[in-house]
């Protein structure tokens, strides 16, 4: 075991693994250190255990789906992007397949196969790996980075250190936010940290009473509204009612806007509306309800409108608008039908927060991008210091965007660290 390396990478998640590969491919002697007993622990559970490695959309779409500073990634994507990720894995023998919304998964449907392929490549490139080696801090001197100090007191020297330790979400995978202190020590700003892609909590009586717990709604439009009822953002996808609030892909995407609205408007809760008929106007839904009622006026309301939405939700909304489910449709007033149309189009739920950052898929905020060079991922403050992955103030929606950002910034950081060192080696 050497005591000095060209490049030290701290953290063996997707960004650190890719940084190690890129740095070693560009001629550097690399040490990869991780505090866990295994590398790629979060990667191994990503995408429901299938690992949504990247997304096949064109670059402008990728950037649009990274609402947390996606534009910063233009340079990194010009060096290593989603197409490069796909070729990279194909060259490692991991064929990928495309699913809905451009999401790319390994054909094996196994995140572990992705992790194993990365580990094999890291080892084949001659990267030295130390697991069970938590880093205590990064060492800085007058001229810049000098190395790392492990928690066991051991010092390892290097003029280039890449911090790839992730954010604060799901700490049992090793991402416990250790890197923020090291960045601060170098003079970096850490923007506010907050949970993103996270389930929402609500104190609505129907949530507390678990009336809809476990119910999924498919292809609905979920909107976050400001205190005046104006839409801040709408996401159309599936959603889920839980015992504490709302979840599912559309809600996860909306969650960061709830966090920001709660802060901005200093309110105790925010309105979310659910539109189960996003392609129709209220008037069109009203006419559809009337037409269905006319087909057989003796039918009960719940039978006449069966299939419009899942039965549990239909019964729930009927109760909300005060229509007895067993009422014969000919007994319904037009006003009641209109109220039901409105409920189908805009059911309002007040949400008062999110699960904690530890339970979020992604950490929002991080190392301020103003102080990082987008072409190299190098610190603009401390020579020899690099950042990549979720520790940066970058966050994307679920759908492969975060791992793509981690690979792209990781590759860019590894390559730049190796190339910058070549002048001095």
Ligand X SMILES: Cc1cc2nc3c(=O)[nH]c(=O)nc-3n(C[C@H](O)[C@H](O)[C@H](O)COP(=O)(O)OP(=O)(O)OC[C@H]3O[C@@H](n4cnc5c(N)ncnc54)[C@H](O)[C@@H]3O)c2cc1C
Residue 94 as a binder of ligand X (CB under 6 A): the answer is no
Residue 52 as a binder of ligand X (CB under 6 A): the answer is yes
396 within 8 A of 66, measured Cβ to Cβ: yes
Give the Cα separation of 92 and 77 in Å (integer).
Answer: 21
- Tell me which residues in 177-236 interact with ligand X (CB under 6 A): 178
Q: Determine the distance from the C-alpha atom of residue 157 to the mean position of all C-alpha atoms in its chain, rounded to a whole number.
A: 34
> What's the per-residue H, E or C state across 268-297?
CCEEEEEECCCCCCHHHHHHHHHHHHHHCC
Residue 239 as a binder of ligand X (CB under 6 A): the answer is no
Give the Cα separation of 420 and 425 in Å (integer).
Answer: 9
162 within 8 A of 153, measured Cβ to Cβ: no
Which residues sit opposite 32 in a β-bridge? 9, 129
Token pair listed for 1: 């075991």
Give the Cα separation of 60 and 38 in Å (integer).
Answer: 35
When binding is defined by CB under 6 A, the residue of 24, 82, 113, 175 that contacts ligand X is 175
Candidates 91-99, 154-162, 167-175, 318-326; binding stretch for ligand X (CB under 6 A): 167-175
Binding mask 366-395 for ligand X (x = CB under 6 A): -----------------------xx-----
Residue 253 as a binder of ligand X (CB under 6 A): the answer is no
Minimum Å distance from CB 136 to ligand X? 7
- Tell me which residues in 274-333 interact with ligand X (CB under 6 A): none
Residue 106 as a binder of ligand X (CB under 6 A): the answer is no
Residue 22 as a binder of ligand X (CB under 6 A): the answer is no
Residue 47 as a binder of ligand X (CB under 6 A): the answer is yes
Nearer to ligand X, 248 or 276 (CB): 248
When binding is defined by CB under 6 A, the residue of 13, 67, 102, 195 that contacts ligand X is 13
Residue 406 as a binder of ligand X (CB under 6 A): the answer is yes
When binding is defined by CB under 6 A, the residue of 385, 401, 414, 418 that contacts ligand X is 401
Residue 336, sorted as left (phi over 0), alpha (psi -120 to 50) or beta, turns out to be alpha
How large is the C-alpha radius of gyration of the chain? 25
Residue 89 as a binder of ligand X (CB under 6 A): the answer is no
Minimum Å distance from CB 175 to ligand X? 3
Nearer to ligand X, 67 or 317 (CB): 67
Minimum Å distance from CB 99 to ligand X? 11
Candidates 42-50, 154-162, 245-253, 335-343; binding stretch for ligand X (CB under 6 A): 42-50
Give the Cα separation of 380 and 51 in Å (integer).
Answer: 33
Minimum Å distance from CB 267 to ligand X? 28
When binding is defined by CB under 6 A, the residue of 67, 68, 174, 384 that contacts ligand X is 174
Token pair listed for 242: 């839980």
Candidates 12-20, 79-87, 232-240, 282-290; binding stretch for ligand X (CB under 6 A): 12-20
Candidates 171-179, 270-278, 330-338, 340-348; binding stretch for ligand X (CB under 6 A): 171-179
Determine how many CB atoms are found less than 10 A away from the CB of residue 155: 13
Residue 141, sorted as left (phi over 0), alpha (psi -120 to 50) or beta, turns out to be beta
**Beta strands 135-141; 128-130: pairing state:** unpaired
When binding is defined by CB under 6 A, the residue of 28, 30, 42, 259 that contacts ligand X is 42
Residue 354 as a binder of ligand X (CB under 6 A): the answer is no
* Strands across the sheet containing 385-387: 128-130, 30-33, 7-10, 161-163, 385-387
Residue carrying structure tokens 């280039």: 160
Residue 166 as a binder of ligand X (CB under 6 A): the answer is yes
Which one-letter DSSP state was computed for residue 9? E
When binding is defined by CB under 6 A, the residue of 16, 248, 364, 365 that contacts ligand X is 16
Which residues sit opposite 221 in a β-bridge? 236, 275
Q: 3-state class of 95 per DSSP?
A: coil
Closest CA to 43 of 69, 71, 13, 23: 13
When binding is defined by CB under 6 A, the residue of 34, 146, 275, 393 that contacts ligand X is 34
Minimum Å distance from CB 188 to ligand X? 16
Angle, to 10 degrees, between the axis of helix 14-25 and the axis of helix 111-124?
A: 30
Compute how many residues bind ligand X; rule: CB under 6 A: 39
Task: Give kind and range of the element (H or E) at residue 208.
Answer: helix 205-208
Residue 12 as a binder of ligand X (CB under 6 A): the answer is yes
Minimum Å distance from CB 169 to ligand X? 5
Minimum Å distance from CB 112 to ligand X? 13
Give the Cα separation of 283 and 338 in Å (integer).
Answer: 8
> Rule CB under 6 A: which residues touch ligand X?
10-16, 33-36, 41-43, 45-47, 51-52, 134-135, 164-166, 169-170, 174-176, 178, 361-362, 389-390, 400-403, 406
């Amino acid at each position: 075991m050497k005591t000095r390396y060209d490049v030290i990478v701290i953290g063996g998640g997707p960004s650190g693994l890719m940084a190690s590969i890129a740095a070693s491919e560009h001629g550097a002697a690399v040490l990869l250190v991780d505090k866990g007993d295994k590398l790629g622990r979060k990667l191994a559970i990503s995408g429901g255990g299938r690992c949504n490695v990247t997304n096949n959309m064109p670059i402008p779409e990728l950037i649009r789906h990274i609402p947390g500073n996606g534009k910063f990634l233009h340079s990194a994507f010009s060096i290593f992007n989603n197409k490069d990720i796909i070729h990279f894995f194909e060259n490692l023998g991991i064929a990928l397949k495309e699913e809905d919304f451009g999401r790319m998964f390994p054909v094996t449907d196994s995140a572990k196969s992705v992790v194993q392929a990365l580990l094999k490549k890291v080892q084949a490139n001659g990267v030295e790996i130390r697991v069970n080696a938590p880093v205590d801090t990064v060492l800085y001197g007058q001229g810049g980075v000098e190395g790392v100090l492990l928690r066991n007191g051991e010092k390892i020297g290097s003029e280039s250190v890449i911090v790839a330790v992730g954010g604060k979400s799901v700490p049992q995978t090793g991402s416990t936010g250790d890197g923020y202190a090291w960045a601060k020590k170098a003079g970096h700003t850490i923007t506010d940290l907050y949970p993103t892609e996270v389930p929402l909590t609500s104190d609505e009586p129907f949530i507390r009473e678990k009336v809809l717990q476990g119910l999924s709604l498919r292809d609905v439009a979920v909107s976050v509204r400001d205190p005046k009822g104006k839409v801040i953002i709408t996401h159309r996808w599936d959603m889920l009612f839980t015992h504490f609030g709302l979840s599912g892909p559309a809600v996860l995407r909306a969650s960061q806007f709830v966090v920001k609205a709660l802060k901005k408007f200093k309110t105790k809760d925010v309105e979310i509306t659910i539109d189960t008929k996003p392609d129709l106007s209220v008037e069109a839904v009203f006419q559809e309800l009337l037409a269905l009622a006319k087909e057989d006026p003796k039918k009960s309301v719940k039978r006449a409108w069966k299939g419009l939405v899942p039965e549990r939700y239909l019964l729930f909304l009927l109760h909300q608008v005060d229509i007895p489910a067993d009422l014969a449709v000919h007994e319904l007033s037009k006003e009641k039908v209109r109220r039901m149309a409105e409920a189908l189009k805009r059911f309002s739920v007040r949400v008062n927060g999110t699960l904690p950052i530890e339970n979020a898929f992604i950490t929002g905020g991080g190392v301020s991008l103003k102080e990082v060079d987008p072409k190299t991922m190098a610190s603009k403050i401390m020579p020899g210091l690099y950042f990549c992955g979720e520790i940066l103030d970058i966050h994307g929606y679920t759908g492969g965007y975060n791992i793509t950002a981690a690979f792209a910034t990781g590759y860019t950081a590894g390559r730049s660290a190796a190339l910058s060192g070549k002048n001095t080696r």
